[in-house]
Amino acid sequence: MSIPSFVIGIAGGTGAGKTTVARLVTENVGESVTRIPLDNYYEDLSHLDIEEREEVNYDHPSAFEWELLREHLRELLEGRAVDMPQYDFELHNRKDETVRVEPTDVIVLEGILALYDEAVNDMLDLRLYVETDADVRILRRIQRDVIDRGRDLEGVIDQYLSTVKPMHEQFIEPSKKHADLIIPEGANSVAVELLEEKIQAEANGGETRTWERLDAEGDAKDVN
């Protein structure tokens, strides 16, 4: 068990390639990396029936249990394990079982609104925003939702137009201003290689973080 030395947030619209970037940049960090999908922190909706759950706006910040996420990040940063919820996209709800997550050198929080919450942002050492064209993102989303998640095409299109797209414009895209780096076109190899090197160096650097965020005057801000 270790005190995490580098915490990364990866945000971006649906289908932007966040998961791929998260996997590639931490590929060589081995076992000392923990991935936290923001999806696991969707609110518990057990009080609603499936039809009601299908109607929920899953792209609005209110769909997430931010307090639990903040608490889990704080625990991990202090070197304590947490029981992370798991999410079921078919049932639109949290699963009954949780997964025990031990603190590791590198932690990666990944999701549409990973850079949305101020308290969460304060805990991140590196904030990335993956920017991919909307047409590419929607094509990927259709493929994933229809083929992998067994949803019908009409429903996917309705959801995209009624909530996914407007929420992207209202909350996700504006969260880009919190990013330290914007990665164009998802997993572009130059960005991935540079990040991979940086992350490996931080992971191997022990418990002290060497990363400092500077304010407009060039003074170090207290990011930890």
C-beta of 92 vs 127, nearer to ligand CTP? 92
Smallest separation, CB 197 to ligand CTP (Å): 22
How far apart are alpha carbons 18 and 144 in whole angstroms?
14
Nearer to ligand CTP, 121 or 163 (CB): 163
Give the separation between CA 164 and CA 112, rounded to whole angstroms: 10
Dist. CA 217–CA 125, nearest whole Å:
19
Minimum CB distance to ligand CTP, residue 224 (Å):
27
Q: Which CB, 41 or 58, lies closer to ligand CTP? A: 58
Question: Would you call 203 helix, strand, or coil by DSSP?
Answer: helix
The nearer residue to ligand CTP, 5 or 172, going by C-beta atoms, is 172
Q: Is the dihedral of CA 129, 222, 64, 161 positive or negative?
A: negative
Closer of 4 and 13 to ligand CTP (Cβ): 13
Q: CA 82 → CA 14, 112, 123, 176, distances in Å?
A: 27, 22, 16, 28
Min. distance of Cβ 189 from ligand CTP in angstroms?
17
Report the Cα 158 to chain-centroid distance in Å.
Answer: 24
Alpha-carbon gap, residue 186 to 20, rounded angstroms: 8
Q: Is 13 helix (H, G, I), strand (E, B) or coil?
A: coil
The least CB distance from residue 148 to ligand CTP, in Å, is 10
Which residue type, as a one-letter code, is found at position 36?
I
Q: How far is the CB of 26 from ligand CTP (least distance, A)?
A: 14
Binding site residues, ligand CTP, CB under 6 A: 12, 14-19, 39, 42, 58-59, 89, 92, 112, 164
